[in-house]
Amino acid sequence: MMNRLVLILVLLGATIAAQAQQVAVYPTHWWTGMKWDKLQVMVRGEKIAATIPMVKMKPEGMELAPGVHLKQIRRVANSNYIFFDLEIAANAQPGWITLPFVGKKGIKYELKPRRMGNGTAYAKGVTSEDLMYLIMPDRFSNGDESNDRVKGMRDQSLRRDTVFNRHGGDLKGVQNHLDYLQDLGVTAIWLNPVIENDMPGRTEHGYAFTDHYKIERRIGGEQAYHALVDAAHAKGMKIIQDAVYNHIGTEHFLFKDQPDSSWFHRWPKFTQTSYKDQVVFDPYASAADKKLMSDGWFVPSMPDWDQSNEMVQRFLIQHAIWTVEEFGIDGWRVDTYAYNDLPFMNRCNQALYDDFPKLTIFGETWVHGVPNQSYFCENNFEVPFKSNLQATTDFQTLFYGIQPALTQPFGWTEGVNKLYTTLAQDFLYKDPMRQVIFLDNHDIARFYSVVNEDTAKYKAAFAWLLTSRGIPQMYYGNEILMAGTTSPNDGYVRLDFPGGWKGDKANKFTAAGRTAKENQVFDYIRKLANFRKNSSAIKTGKLMQFVPYDGVYVYFRYDAQQSVMCIMNTNDKAFTLGLNRFAERVDGFTTGRDVVMDVKIPLKDSITLQPMTNLVLELKP
- The SS3 assignment for 610 reads coil
Other residues' Cβ atoms within 10 Å of the Cβ of residue 112: 14
Other residues' Cβ atoms within 10 Å of the Cβ of residue 415: 21
Q: What angle do CA 309, 315, 320 make, to 5 degrees?
A: 130
Helix, strand, coil shares of the chain, percent, nearest 5, are 30, 20, 45
Question: What does DSSP say about strands 68-75 and 81-88: parallel, antiparallel, or unpaired?
Answer: antiparallel
What 15-23 contacts at long range (C-beta under 8 Å, 24+ apart), as own/partner pairs, is: 19/45, 19/46, 19/47, 20/45, 22/46, 23/48, 23/107
- The SS3 assignment for 1 reads coil
Find residue 569's DSSP bridge partners. 552, 613
Among 353, 340, 343, smallest CA distance to 386 is for: 343
Contact by Cβ (8 Å): 437, 470: yes
| Residue positions counted in the chain | 621
Q: How far apart are CA 12 and CA 59, in angstroms?
A: 37
**Residue tagged active-site, from 242, 364, 394, 496:** 364
Using CA atoms, how far residue 223 sits from 172, 199, 215, 218, in Å, is 10, 22, 9, 12
The 3 state secondary structure assigned to 62-80 is EEEECCEEEEEEEECCCCC
**Residue tagged active-site, from 242, 251, 330, 335:** 335
Using CA atoms, how far residue 157 sits from 153, 275, 502, in Å, is 10, 31, 18
Beta carbons within 8 Å of 354's beta carbon, 6+ residues apart: 35, 36
Residue 364 a catalytic site member: yes
Kindly state the helix (H) or strand (E) to which residue 59 belongs, with its residue range: none
Among 449, 451, 476, 471, smallest CA distance to 461 is for: 451
In this structure, is the dihedral angle defined by the CA atoms of residues 373, 377, 381 and 384, taken in order, positive or negative? positive
The amino acid sitting at 166 is: R
| Residues acting as catalytic residues | 335, 364
